[in-house]
A and B are shown apart, each in its own frame.
Chain A
């Protein structure tokens, strides 16, 4: 299985940039696609798709969210961070089955 590694937590100040990383145990990219996706989950809510194929913004997601990366290293950026962004962020790969998720990064406010 492809293991996705995320840092457990990240503290940032409101209005600043947050950079959340996800490292895969093997490449999740093909010649055409970077098969990494990002979700936001707030307490008591279901996960919400933010970014698909590493860098594409899902429908209705604010442009302060962006994604980048290829191969094994991927990044979700939130700039600027707002109070409503307090949540846990998960990466998920779809390069191969079984589909796997990262352990989540909890975004906290300094």
Chain B
């Protein structure tokens, strides 16, 4: 069974960088699907942030393009999110998810809540 699990600090100070890890079990991240980060803000708005393809290419939401980076470690079956210069508006629950062909998300992690506060 495919499982995704997010990990990372729950509290980040304004102007610092937010770094999260998604660990995948039950699937090889180079096997043909892409891997995304999606966040849900307080109040329920959801935002697709980025994906990294099975071949390592990336696609970022233009609203975040200057601040975001996705990388991966294929040997550990992990992919990563870095979001720079965070503000309180980046407070959200962050999910990693598998992106299928057609850009729908069929497997999701449980999410990690990140608060940006001094």
A101 at the interface (CB under 8 A from B): yes
Residues on B with C-beta less than 8 A from A35 are 102-103
- Cβ 8 A contact of B63, one of A52, A90, A98: A98
In contact, B106 and A58 (Cβ under 8 angstroms) = yes
Residues on A with C-beta less than 8 A from B61 are 97-98
Rounded to whole Å, the gap between the CB of B92 and the closest CB of chain A is 13
- Find residues 1-58 in chain A having any chain B CB closer than 8 Å to their own CB: 33, 35, 37, 39, 45-49, 52-53, 58
Cα A101 to Cα B46 in complex, Å, equals 6
- Cβ 8 A contact of A104, one of B44, B48, B109: B44
Given A46-B111, A88-B44, A103-B45, CB of A52 within 8 Å of CB of B62 = no
In contact, B59 and A97 (Cβ under 8 angstroms) = yes
Rounded to whole Å, the gap between the CB of B33 and the closest CB of chain A is 13
Indicate the size class of the contact surface on chain A: 20 to 34
In contact, A49 and B104 (Cβ under 8 angstroms) = yes
B54 at the interface (CB under 8 A from A): no
Given A46-B95, A46-B109, A46-B111, CB of A101 within 8 Å of CB of B104 = no
Tally of A-B residue pairs with Cβ under 8 A? 51
Given A101-B46, A103-B44, CB of A46 within 8 Å of CB of B110 = yes
Identity of the chain A residue whose Cβ is nearest the Cβ of B109 in the assembled complex = A46
Binding site for B on A (CB under 8 A): 33, 35, 37, 39, 45-49, 52-53, 58, 88, 90, 92, 94, 97-101, 103-104
The 30 sampled A-B contact pairs (Cβ below 8 Å) are: A33-B102, A35-B102, A35-B103, A37-B104, A37-B105, A45-B110, A46-B109, A46-B110, A46-B111, A47-B108, A48-B108, A49-B105, A49-B106, A52-B100, A52-B102, A53-B102, A53-B104, A58-B106, A88-B44, A90-B46, A92-B46, A92-B105, A97-B59, A98-B62, A99-B48, A101-B45, A101-B46, A101-B47, A103-B44, A103-B45
